[in-house]
Amino acid sequence: MRPILKWAGGKAKLAGQIADAFHEPCGGTYFEPFLGSGAVYLALKERGHIASAVLADANPKLVEVHLAVRDAVDDVLAEIEALPKEDWRERYYDIRELYNLGPCSGPRHAARFIWLNRAGFNGLYRENRSGRFNVPIGRYTRLSIPDEARIRAVSEALASAEVICADFESVIDRAREGDQVYCDPPYVPLSPTARFTGYCSLPFDLPEQKRLARIAQKAALRGARVVLSNHDLPVVRNELYPTARGFEHVARPRVARAISRAARSRQRVAEVIAAIGPLADDEAA
Q: Would you say how long the chain is, in residues?
A: 285
H helix or E strand, kind and range, residue 67? helix 60-71
* Distance from C-alpha of 231 to C-alpha of 123, rounded to nearest angstrom: 20
Q: CA angle at residue 169 from 164 to 173, to 5 degrees?
A: 90
Superfamily for domain range 12-58+166-283: Vaccinia Virus protein VP39 (3.40.50.150)
Q: For domain 79-149, which architecture applies?
A: Orthogonal Bundle (1.10)
Pairing relationship of beta strands 268-276 and 225-231 according to DSSP bridges: antiparallel
Q: What is the pLDDT of residue 198?
A: 53
* Distance from C-alpha of 69 to C-alpha of 65, rounded to nearest angstrom: 6
Cβ–Cβ under 8 Å, residues 220 and 279: yes
Give the CA count within 13 Å in the CB-facing half-sphere of 166: 16
Closest Cα to residue 189, out of 228, 233, 229, 241?
A: 233
Q: Taking each helix axis from N to C terminus, what angle separates 73-81 and 106-119, rounded to the nearest 10 degrees? A: 50
Contacts of 263 (CB under 8 A, 6+ apart): none
Cβ–Cβ under 8 Å, residues 19 and 44: yes
Q: What is the pLDDT of residue 282?
A: 63
Closest Cα to residue 99, out of 87, 73, 117, 81?
A: 117
* Distance from C-alpha of 244 to C-alpha of 227, rounded to nearest angstrom: 16
pLDDT 10s digit of each residue in the chain, 285 long? 999 999 987 898 999 999 999 999 999 999 999 999 999 999 999 999 999 999 999 999 999 999 999 999 999 999 999 999 999 999 999 999 999 999 999 999 999 999 999 999 998 999 998 999 999 999 999 999 999 999 999 999 999 999 999 999 999 999 999 999 999 999 998 876 555 445 555 568 899 999 999 999 999 999 999 999 999 999 999 999 999 999 999 999 998 765 444 445 457 889 999 999 999 876 666
CA separation, residue 283 to residues 69, 176, 244, 245, 278 (Å): 42, 17, 8, 7, 10
Would you kindly state where each structural domain of the chain is located, as residue ranges? 12-58+166-283, 79-149
- What is the per-residue DSSP string for 128-180? -TTS-B-PPBP--SS--PPPHHHHHHHHHHHTTEEEEE--HHHHHTT--TT-E
Closest Cα to residue 200, out of 107, 63, 98?
A: 63
